[in-house]
A and B are shown apart, each in its own frame.
Chain A
């Protein structure tokens, strides 16, 4: 099986995603890409560079600024057996297209009695940390994960950015792949061959024995930094990256908690009603007797994402605060 360890080749997160797009479009002629500025410009984050040149304007198309129509076109084309990739540029824009996402794409399979599959992939970029403010910085994965019928991936490494976009496009269900804007330039080991990461299989990023951190998206590398610091203090941290928040690999999380007996959940979406609340509930239902301390959460405060760097830095969890939260968790007896 392909793993990051099978290669020394390094690519950035966005280049790895881009390579996955190229390879999966070469593999399957039913895959096409539409969105605002995805063709001529290659996407505002260069996620789609070179696709127009390689695959032509039949398969790679710029659209009007019309998010409902972009997603709706994807739904209809997917229902007819094509495999559309529809880009929404910023995750905040899901609101504009939400009817097509949650009332149409998500429900068609079920409400039509299984007669229709919707192999639609939505790509978008989420996350804060660029002074992009309240309407260009959100992490809305909990909204999407709440809707039966959707699948949601949150790649946290270059390796996963490639494997999850390939897995999403090959999946026969509507999927949303949320790239993290702050991770686009982060390098990692990425095998050259085409590979897919299945949805619903968590990644044990680091093995440890004293405490489990369940981290989402960009909080995975922040948790890794914190774990290295804690290691210096003799604290052994296990990090679980669910990779997809829908479906959620509860089993891997619960197994880890049964081993470490303490768990911290970290995400950059607001804490209230965030995916951490669901993970917390599942842990206490499945592993209550193993817990030596209440399940802890570290996430954004209940406010829109602020603009000023000093405010935004205070808003998004980071390695020092993860480290402090772990130390607090270990103090509980």
Chain B
């Protein structure tokens, strides 16, 4: 069973700008997810969603250490990564509504959000499928010597699939500027970590590929950011990949916003993790250290709400795709 990790490292450096930036990224993810989840539940929006709520500190911490030119590959639980990398609500909601104004013109939906202008190389509905693609993004950086890095996000479950192992070895042997970010939320869909591997710390796997394995508190965006900065520096020095294991937790089910349909998790476990909520943590750090005020955090929540309503409105009013165009973009012509 997954358990909460050690308490926040009190010496983690923080500035006012950083605290507000991380807070904004996390609030944007959370409110997007909660609203989108409700819209699917009510039948207003098609498809189904793998919600990221609970894990916001990982996407926010990592992406705050990247530039638009750095690349990421994502997962089926990818909204958080896209938003943290700078994706906008309007084309995201439009994509979830299947509209032409969406990031994928309504062709991809929730599991395929892409934003090439911000280095978001796509969410991916195949567990582990994005990991080898990040090798290529990192290889392109190395080939062009352009100083960028590639980050691949994946879960604890994905570290059991061959694509992960092939890619980890490959990145290490070619010193590729790739950062492997394992979001260990303790569950591969509905199967607990104890039932899908013998390890407690997945970062141990890194050593077998000859790369550093770092464990970080995945509820602490500042700590995630620090680890990422170190990994980015290492990659840019040409020293190759780093594996970061962020211990985190998924508040909702594998899919959807409703509660557990089957009791595969102990409610006490869920509650224990919720007491270490990433957004509450950054707000506590900000106010206790005198870096930001409760009013400033409240303003971010309020502004996010307004932007979300604007995004939903935009999506609802956007045109549907035309079935006559169904063959467009199968090939580049």
Residues on A lying within 8 angstroms of B by beta carbon are: 32, 58, 61, 63-64, 66-69, 71-82, 84, 99-100, 103-104, 108-117, 119, 148-149, 151, 172-173
Chain B 143-186: CB-based contact to A (< 8 A → 1; otherwise 0):
10000001000000000001100110110011000000000000
Q: B124: which A residues are within 8 A, CB to CB?
A: 104
Binds A, one of B50-58, B126-134, B230-238: B126-134
Q: B134: which A residues are within 8 A, CB to CB?
A: 76
Q: Does B329 sit within 8 A of A, measured CB to CB?
A: yes
Q: A149: which B residues are within 8 A, CB to CB?
A: 330-331
Q: Does B116 sit within 8 A of A, measured CB to CB?
A: yes
Closest chain A CB from B79 CB (angstroms): 16
Q: A108: which B residues are within 8 A, CB to CB?
A: 122
Binds A, one of B38-46, B98-106, B188-196, B250-258: B98-106
Q: A111: which B residues are within 8 A, CB to CB?
A: 104, 107-108, 112
Assembly CA distance A61 to B176 (angstroms) = 13
A-B contact pairs, 18 of them (CB 8 A): A66-B167, A69-B135, A69-B167, A69-B170, A72-B135, A75-B133, A76-B73, A76-B134, A76-B137, A76-B139, A77-B140, A79-B133, A82-B140, A109-B332, A112-B114, A149-B331, A151-B331, A173-B332
Assembly CA distance A329 to B143 (angstroms) = 56
Q: Does B210 sit within 8 A of A, measured CB to CB?
A: no
Assembly CA distance A73 to B169 (angstroms) = 13
User: Does B129 lie within 8 Å of A103, measured CB to CB?
Assistant: yes
Assembly CA distance A9 to B2 (angstroms) = 69
User: Does A64 lie within 8 Å of B173, measured CB to CB?
Assistant: yes
Q: A61: which B residues are within 8 A, CB to CB?
A: 174
Q: Does B223 sit within 8 A of A, measured CB to CB?
A: no
The residue on B at minimum CB distance from A199 is B331
17 additional contacts, CB 8 Å, given A69-B132, A112-B107?
A32-B143, A63-B170, A66-B166, A68-B162, A69-B170, A72-B135, A72-B167, A74-B136, A76-B133, A78-B136, A84-B136, A104-B133, A111-B107, A112-B114, A113-B104, A113-B329, A115-B116
Partner of B135, one of A32, A67, A73, A103: A73
The residue on B at minimum CB distance from A80 is B140
Q: Does B304 sit within 8 A of A, measured CB to CB?
A: no
Partner of A80, one of B103, B136, B170, B332: B136
Assembly CA distance A61 to B143 (angstroms) = 12
Q: Does B328 sit within 8 A of A, measured CB to CB?
A: yes
Assembly CA distance A104 to B163 (angstroms) = 13
User: Does A68 lie within 8 Å of B166, measured CB to CB?
Assistant: yes
User: Does A115 lie within 8 Å of B114, measured CB to CB?
Assistant: yes
The residue on A at minimum CB distance from B131 is A72
User: Does A68 lie within 8 Å of B132, measured CB to CB?
Assistant: yes
The residue on B at minimum CB distance from A105 is B133
Q: Does B71 sit within 8 A of A, measured CB to CB?
A: yes
Partner of B330, one of A58, A67, A75, A148: A148
- Known interface pairs A66-B170, A77-B137. Does A113 touch B131 (Cβ–Cβ under 8 Å)? no
Closest 3 CB pairs of A and B: A72-B132, A76-B136, A113-B104
Assembly CA distance A180 to B109 (angstroms) = 40
The residue on B at minimum CB distance from A65 is B166
Partner of B104, one of A77, A112, A148: A112
Assembly CA distance A82 to B126 (angstroms) = 24
Q: Does B227 sit within 8 A of A, measured CB to CB?
A: no
User: Does B330 lie within 8 Å of A110, measured CB to CB?
Assistant: yes
Assembly CA distance A173 to B162 (angstroms) = 26
The residue on B at minimum CB distance from A34 is B139
Partner of A110, one of B71, B107, B121, B143: B107
Q: B329: which A residues are within 8 A, CB to CB?
A: 109-110, 113-114
Q: Which of A66, A71, A113 has the most CB of B within 10 A?
A: A113
Assembly CA distance A219 to B212 (angstroms) = 53
Closest chain B CB from A79 CB (angstroms): 6
Q: Which of B73, B114, B124, B134 has the most CB of A within 10 A?
A: B114
Q: B170: which A residues are within 8 A, CB to CB?
A: 63-64, 66, 69, 73
Assembly CA distance A108 to B114 (angstroms) = 10
Closest chain B CB from A264 CB (angstroms): 30
The residue on B at minimum CB distance from A117 is B332
The residue on A at minimum CB distance from B163 is A68
Q: B102: which A residues are within 8 A, CB to CB?
A: 113
Q: A74: which B residues are within 8 A, CB to CB?
A: 136
Assembly CA distance A151 to B71 (angstroms) = 27
Assembly CA distance A116 to B135 (angstroms) = 17
Q: Which of B106, B132, B167 has the most CB of A within 10 A?
A: B132
User: Does A77 lie within 8 Å of B143, measured CB to CB?
Assistant: yes
Closest chain A CB from B330 CB (angstroms): 5
User: Does B112 lie within 8 Å of A73, measured CB to CB?
Assistant: no
Closest chain B CB from A64 CB (angstroms): 6
Q: A77: which B residues are within 8 A, CB to CB?
A: 136-137, 139-140, 143
- Known interface pairs A64-B169, A73-B170, A104-B129. Does A113 touch B136 (Cβ–Cβ under 8 Å)? no
User: Does A172 lie within 8 Å of B129, measured CB to CB?
Assistant: no
Partner of B166, one of A64, A76, A80, A104: A64
User: Does B104 lie within 8 Å of A115, measured CB to CB?
Assistant: yes
Assembly CA distance A215 to B263 (angstroms) = 59
Partner of B116, one of A32, A110, A116, A172: A116
Partner of A116, one of B122, B163, B330: B122
